[in-house]
Chains A and B, each alone.
Chain A
Amino acid sequence: MSPTSLRIRLLGELSLAYGATLVTGISTGRAQALLAYLVLQRHAPQPRQRLAFQLWVDSTDTQARTNLRKELSYLRRALPEVDKFLLVDAKTLQWHPNARFTLDVAEFEQALGAAEQGTNPALVRSALEQALELYQGDLLPRCEDDWLLPERERLQQLRIRALAQLMDLLETQRDYRAAIDRAQQLLRIDPLNEAAYCSLMRLQMLSGNRANALQIYHRCMTILREELGVEPSSSTRKLYEQVLNQEVEQSAARPFAQLLTHPLPTLPNIRPKSPLLPLIGRDHEWLSIRQWLLSMTNDVASEVLLLVGEPGIGKTRLLEELQQTMHAANGHVLWGRGFAAELVRPYGVWIDALRSLTLRGSIKLPSDLGFLLPELGHSSSLPPDRGQLFDLVVQFLTRLCADGIPVAIILDDIQWIDEASSALLHYATRLLGHLPVLFACATRPRELEDNAAILRVVQALRRERRLQTIELHPLAREHTAELIRYVNPGNHLGLSQEQIADLVFIDSGGNPLFALEVARVLSQQETHSSDNLDALIRDRLQQLNESARELVPWAAALGRSFKPTTVAQVADCSLTKLLTAIEHLEQQNIIRPSVSLDGEMGYDFAHDIVRQVAYRQLSEPRRRLMHRQIAHQLNQADTPSQALASDIAHHASLGGDHTLAASASLAAAERSLKLFAYAEAAELAQRGIQHCQALEGRTRIELHLGLLRIGAIAGVTQERATQLENEVHRLISQANALGLKDEEATGLEILMILRFSNSDFASVHQNSLRVAEASRTASPVTAARMLASGGSCLAEIGREMTRAEALLLEAQSLAARVGLAIIDIPCGLGCVQRHQAHYTEARDLLQQAWRLAQAQQDHWRECTCLTYLAMTELEADDPAAALPYCQEMATVAAKMNGEGSEAVFATALKALASYVLQQPGAEAALKQAIAMLRQVDAKRMLSYVLIGAAQTDLASDRLKLATIRAEAALQAAQTVNHFSEIALAWALFIQATLALGDRQRATTCFEALRRTINCQALSAQARARFDQVMQLMQATVTH
């Protein structure tokens, strides 16, 4: 295992970390200055006398030397393993030349050096961004020593130069939004930089913000006059005049609406230039995507776009086209991708997608997402449950699209995304459907079938008709030929263009990736003998230069997009050498820039097939060694948030390091639990347990029990719980035999968790508060119950029905994991269906809930289900079918303890049904029921019954009574703020008033209703009634 490294930061406040531990002892200003001096002057021994003089300029020589001894002694105590870092003798001090450490100042200069030498714009950008990210503040800002000031000034100038360089580069890349951010950043630190004002003016103009550009000129003029007493230079004034006359070239960026209303055939003209190949042979698919984009401007909820096709068929290319279109419209794009190696990384694809937003430098992610993105600062308060975690992401996306800015969430290779990511995707698609937020995904068809979690989401979206699938087929011959003509492979075989096209088409079968590989070979060799894609890619990898060939296996073994610094670390090569190799690989189209990772430009293979081929080339023993080394290096670099634990577990497992694999699995599973990613936690625990079999003694028992504990909290079915209990009893005996008290206690805790998880919610109190607390925050059983309770509360009172349904479906998915049946779920979903007037579906769900309640002998819920069933029949115009439910409800209510309203509800609904059916004596029974509802003070039910009665009165021409009942219903509904019943009662009152001939009053009431009402929040029944009244009122006006 590699020795631990010391990380020193001098830019901003001084900070030291040794491995994952913060070094906090160096707190005095002089000790910090001494450390900084030694580190910055590390290349030569420093005489004690000079040091003492530099650090204590006002002291006598003797006093200064005494002070130095004292501070040195502090430093020696504070630094871990001090002899590895300090060389001390009688006359000199020196930072150890072989010390294993990193220094932000050195990394900053190294990144600037890489940017200086780089020729590839993407690499230069990445290096500059990395340098600026490292510059967290001025060099030791609180130290005012004379020796330090020139160095601080030098670094400040380097930073300003880097900012200006990056700003120019971004402008040439037409990333104006990011360039503007950098220009503003530059002006904040250097407010007299006239050149920066000019750049900012030009950038604002290029982004179409002429007014902003003019304002910037005035700001520049004012500050130069006030601070320096000079006027802007002639070139700045000239630019100002150009802006006034609108002479600066307009950019490709246009408002989204304008982009969409642009006629389709001209769309390519307004897309920015790009290094991508043109979109060939996909006109039909792109047209469908354009039409799908247009749905964002409609009122209807948008559909999720799913591109389906074999590897290499062009899914990613279409997603990139969509990304460019969104950027050209100044929209936001979140781009994430699934990786085969990452099925247990909770929210992996979302983490990458959120980070991708920062790649363009324009968005700052809020710190409340810190639980997903540790680089935002450690989030002290995790969301209390999975629903609230999802809500934080949804709320961020909602804020992102404020002011109508379109947002596209693009997720590639979703066949490899984890369960938690799938659940969040489903949740977000539901809640953001009516906002300008679009979801576009791509998948391989066969692999999708193997990922149950995402398959469920896709099936649900399809069932709900919220999925637009586009299947990508191989290119036609003429399109393959067009693609080949574009790359112009050259001709060593003496064949005509047509013959080459035929050859490529036959060999590739119209698969664009395959076709390009065949064409590439034809351009380099006189013959090509390979008839499969793998062989062609293998040949291409063989032709790379040496440094690139060294890098490829490491990148392939990492299994996902990678940061150059990570590869440098695991492959133990210098960053400069690595950046050269990356540049070569990028030129050869083996890798390409990917999402930003921890503020650093990430890279990924140009296609996953390339990664697979590179990986398959490695021999089994070499793979194992590489994975083992990666695991160990990542283990060194992991932070206290243990964000890398699942990666470490993955690589340790493939590297055959069972102890590290088991312990990292445990850490990763614990992290998954904190993020309510139960499936991932359970899977990681299971994998860790497999590694425990190879361990011995206390380590085995400790890790095995720890992993079983996570498995138990993550939730198990009753059947599995019994097996687990046996396993735990066996381990407890072993722990007991070895005298391992702590492990024995863990075993007992697992038994309690298992019993708690499979007990009834109402009997929580029988368990200790400690277990209840532990499980409350983590167990899917409790999480499912909480989500179900929250969702059904909303559904039953007819509020936020989209959110209610999303919560209930999420509860359903969690409950299914542990084989749990929760009455609130079908009951709440039944209410959602009833709200939408889907009575058949509502009946099925409510009956299912009723059967569950009967089985669980939950009488109150039995009554609730029966109430909703009776209401469903009344609303479906079948009052006779409501009567048996009322009868059953009365029977169940009689069995209940305490003073409840259930019997009254039964009587009231029965009276209403009889009244609608015009049965003898119904009128008196109804009056009596209304009085009883008032007595128990149940305003929602009172309003419901009064509305039902008023509808019957209106239909039977008892108009006066209808107005009285509707008005009373309105009053009750307003008290409990029930939107749909308010609208229904109000509409009935207007109808009855109109029928009585009081047009003026009806008109006044209708105007008031129209001002108050929010049609989106109404039930289908209330909306229908409102529409009916609106037509009546319009007819009244016409006549």
Chain B
Amino acid sequence: MIHVVIECEYETPFDKKTWYEADLRLLPCLEAYGVKWLRSQISVDGRRTICEFEAPDTEVVRTAYRKTGVPFKRAWIAEVLEPSGDLKAWLEKPHASLEGDLTASMGEI
């Protein structure tokens, strides 16, 4: 399972009812795809949201958004850093960059 972040932007501030209704459509679909909603952050001006999910891949989250007609700006895989975590160890660990993986695998397949 990976940590997926979905960013949304709105031209006009959204209202809570709209958001709630979108959730009602979205959540059953996410559940069918094996995705778990972790949390969301909403800008106080109501123009931006960031939603975090635990998912098998990014595409299933994207599909659920598209299928239920909920617009989004971009989707990406994230690593989560906590203040209580071992930041030094993280710094020393090679970065889990997709680019690196790609370069390695492209040569083979």
Contact with B along A896-909 (1 / 0, CB 8 A): 01111100000000
B68-A939 in contact (CB<8A): no
- Whether A934 sits at the interface, judged by CB under 8 Å, is yes
A860 in contact with B66 given A789-B28, A936-B58, A936-B59 (CB within 8 Å): yes
B57 engages A793 (CB within 8 Å)? no
Whether A961 pairs with B109 at a CB distance below 8 angstroms is yes
Q: Which residues of B contact A765 (CB under 8 A)?
A: 17-18, 21-22
Any B CB within 8 A of the CB of A731: no
Given contacts A790-B32, A793-B32, contact A935 B109 (CB under 8 A): no
Q: Which of A790, A824, A964, A975 contacts B56 (CB 8 A)?
A: A975
Q: How far is the CB of B77 from chain A (nearest CB, A)?
A: 6
For the residues of A in contact with B, the DSSP-based class is helix
Q: Which of A836-867 contact B (CB under 8 A)?
A: 860
**Does B68 lie within 8 Å of A789, measured CB to CB?**
yes
The residue on A at minimum CB distance from B77 is A937
Interface residues of A in 781-822 (CB under 8 A from B): 786, 789-790, 792-794, 797
Q: How long is the Cα–Cα vector from A961 to B2 in the complex, in angstroms?
A: 28
Determine if A901 and B109 form an interchain contact, defined as CB atoms under 8 angstroms apart: no
Q: Least Cβ distance of B92 to chain A in Å? A: 25
Within 8 A of A (CB), among B20-57: 20-22, 24-25, 28-29, 32-34, 56-57
Interface flag for B79 (CB, 8 Å): no
The CA of A938 and the CA of B67, in the complex, are separated in Å by 16
> Can you list, as one digit per residue, whether each of A759-780 has a CB less than 8 Å from chain B (1) or not (0)?
0011011000100100010000
User: Is the Cβ of A941 less than 8 Å from the Cβ of B105?
Assistant: no
Once the chains bind, are A769 and B21 in contact (CB under 8 Å)?
yes
Q: Measured between C-beta atoms, what is the minimum distance from A269 to chain B in Å?
A: 53
A938 to B66, CA, bound (A): 14
Partner of A939, one of B29, B59, B74: B59
Is there contact, CB below 8 Å, between B73 and A899?
Answer: yes
Encode B83-97 as 1/0 by CB contact (under 8 A) with A.
000000000000000
Task: Tell me the smallest distance from the CB of B101 to a CB of chain A, in Å.
Answer: 7
Nearest CB of A to B72, in Å: 6
Report A-chain residues with C-beta under 8 Å of the C-beta of B34.
976-977
What CA separation (Å) do A493 and B98 show in the bound complex? 100
Within 8 Å CB of A975, what residues of B?
56-57
Contact A789 B67, beta carbon cutoff 8 Å: yes
Known: A789-B28, A789-B68, A938-B59. Is A968-B73 also a contact (CB below 8 A)? no
Interface size counted on chain A using CB atoms at 8 A:
41
B63-84 vs A: 1/0 string, CB under 8 Å?
A: 0001111011111010000000
User: Using Cβ atoms and an 8 Å threshold, which residues of chain A touch B67?
Assistant: 789, 792-793, 824, 860
Decide if A935 touches B98 in the complex (CB within 8 Å).
yes
A769, A776, A793, A941 — most chain B CB neighbours (10 Å): A793
A528: interface (CB < 8 Å)? no
- Which of A824, A860, A946, A976 interacts with B57 by CB under 8 Å? A976
CB <8 Å contact, B62 and A901: yes
Interface residues on B, range: 35 or more
Given A793-B29, A964-B109, answer yes or no on A764-B21 (Cβ-Cβ < 8 Å). yes
Those of A41-92 within 8 Å (CB) of chain B = none
Task: Please count the residue pairs between chain A and chain B whose beta carbons lie under 8 angstroms apart in the complex.
Answer: 94
* Chain A residues, CB < 8 A from B73: 898-899
Q: How far is the CA of A797 from the CA of B67 in the complex (A)?
A: 13
Residue from A764, A897, A961, A968 within 8 A of B105 (CB atoms): A968
| Shortest distance between the CB of A865 and any CB in chain B (Å) | 13
Decide yes or no: A964 and B29 within 8 Å by CB, A769-B17, A936-B58 being known contacts: no
Q: Whole-angstrom distance between the alpha carbons of A899 and B61 in the complex?
A: 13
Query: Which of B28, B56, B102, B109 is A976 in contact with, Cβ under 8 Å?
Result: B56
Within 8 Å of chain B (Cβ to Cβ): is A495?
Answer: no
> Which residues of B sit under 8 angstroms from A935, Cβ to Cβ?
98, 102
A790 to B73, CA, bound (A): 25
B75 contacts which chain A residues (CB < 8 A)?
A: 899
Cβ–Cβ contact A939 & B109, under 8 A: no
Please give the distance in Å from B107's CB to the nearest CB on chain A. Answer: 9
Complex formed: what's the CA distance from A672 to B78 in Å? 48
Interchain CB contact under 8 A, A794 and B32? yes
A965 at the interface (CB under 8 A from B): yes
Inter-subunit contact A790/B21 (CB<8 Å):
no
Residue numbers in B under 8 Å from A934 (CB-CB): 98, 101-102, 105
Q: Which B residues are CB-close (under 8 A) to A898?
A: 71-74
Q: How far is the CA of A901 from the CA of B28 in the complex (A)?
A: 22
Q: Report the Cα distance A901→B74, complex, angstroms.
A: 11
Whole-angstrom CA separation of A764 from B20 in the bound complex = 11
- Distance to closest chain B CB from A726 (angstroms): 30
A444 within 8 A of B: no
A940 and B59 contact, CB distance less than 8 A: yes
CA distance A377 to B32 in the complex (A): 32
With the chains together, A61 CA to B83 CA distance in Å? 80
Q: With A937-B58, A976-B60 in contact, do A930 and B109 touch (Cβ < 8 Å)?
A: yes
Select the residue from B102, B105, B109 with max chain A CB neighbours within 10 A. Answer: B109
Q: Which A residues touch B32, using CB under 8 A?
A: 790, 793-794, 797
- 8 Å CB contacts to B: which residues of A709-754? none
Please report the C-alpha to C-alpha distance between residue A794 and residue B33 in the assembled complex, in whole angstroms.
Answer: 8
Instruction: Report Cα–Cα, A772/B77, bound state, in Å.
Output: 34
When the two chains form their complex, are residues A793 and B17 in contact, meaning their CB atoms are under 8 A apart?
Answer: no
Q: How long is the Cα–Cα vector from A927 to B101 in the complex, in angstroms?
A: 14
CB-CB nearest in chain B for A824: B67
Across the interface, which residues of A come within 8 angstroms of B22, CB to CB?
765
| Cα of A975 to Cα of B67 in the assembled complex, Å | 21
Complex formed: what's the CA distance from A927 to B102 in Å?
A: 10
Let me know if A927 and B106 touch, CB within 8 A.
yes
Contact call A930/B106, Cβ cutoff below 8 A: yes
A772 touches B21 (CB 8 A): yes
Question: In this assembly, does A931 line the interface, its C-beta being within 8 Å of a C-beta of chain B?
Answer: yes
> Which single residue of chain A is at the shortest CB-CB distance from B9?
A898
B106 CB to closest chain A CB (Å) equals 5
B-facing residues in A922-971 (Cβ within 8 Å): 927, 930-931, 934-941, 946, 949, 961, 964-965, 968
CB A772 to nearest CB in B, in angstroms, measures 7
Chain A residue with the shortest CB-CB distance to B75: A899
Could you tell me the distance between the alpha carbons of A29 and B105 in the complex, rounded to whole angstroms? 81
For A901, the chain B residues whose CB sits under 8 A away are: 59, 62
- Which residue of the partner chain, among B20, B21, B59, B77, contacts A941 with CB atoms under 8 Å? B59
Which residues of A have CB within 8 Å of B101?
934
Q: How far is the CA of A899 from the CA of B66 in the complex (A)?
A: 11
Which chain A residues lie closer than 8 Å to B74 at the CB level? 898-899
Shortest Cβ distance from A761 into B: residue: B69
Q: Which residues of B contact A764 (CB under 8 A)?
A: 21
8 sampled A-B residue pairs with Cβ under 8 A: A765-B21, A789-B67, A794-B32, A797-B33, A898-B74, A940-B59, A961-B109, A964-B108
Q: Which residues of A contact B (CB under 8 A)?
A: 761-762, 764-765, 769, 772, 776, 786, 789-790, 792-794, 797, 824, 860, 897-901, 927, 930-931, 934-941, 946, 949, 961, 964-965, 968, 975-977
6 closest residue pairs by CB, A with B? A938-B59, A937-B58, A793-B32, A762-B69, A939-B57, A899-B74
